[in-house]
């Protein structure tokens, strides 16, 4: 039985589901997401970048006063709600 050399476990899949689940409650800032998900900063950054590239998460930058970044589900991400919840 031949094994595909490009196949490797997707170690972020679990975290993607957790982040989508947490974001179902609404927009969250990075540290709130980190706290709610239990992910490390590095893992959460990678997951958020992946989910943005896939179109499931939107990033919002608030420039009033100190710069603050928050994340929310896109319409595409909200469609996953029944599958993740």
pLDDT for the residue 5: 44
* Sign of the alpha-carbon torsion through 18, 24, 30, 31: negative
pLDDT(82) > 80: no
Tell me if the pTM is above 0.75: yes
pLDDT tens, 5-31?
455 557 888 999 999 999 999 999 999
pLDDT tens, 30-47?
999 999 999 999 999 999
Mean pLDDT of the chain: 86
pLDDT for the residue 30: 95
Whole-number Å distance between alpha carbons of 48 and 52? 6
Complete DSSP assignment for 2-56: ---TT----TTHHHHHHHHHHHTT--EEHHHHHHHH---HHHHHHHHHHHHHHTS
Higher pLDDT: 70 or 79? It is 70
pLDDT for the residue 8: 53
- Tell me the domains of the chain and their CATH numbers: 27-84 (1.10.10.10)
């Amino acid at each position: 039985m031949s094994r595909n050399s490009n196949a490797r476990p997707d170690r972020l899949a679990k975290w993607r589901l957790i982040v989508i689940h947490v974001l179902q409650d609404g927009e969250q800032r990075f540290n709130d997401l980190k706290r709610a998900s239990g992910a490390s900063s590095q893992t959460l950054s990678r997951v958020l970048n992946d989910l943005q590239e896939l179109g499931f998460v939107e990033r919002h930058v608030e420039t009033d006063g100190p710069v603050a970044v928050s994340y929310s589900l896109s319409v595409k991400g909200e469609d996953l709600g029944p599958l993740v919840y």
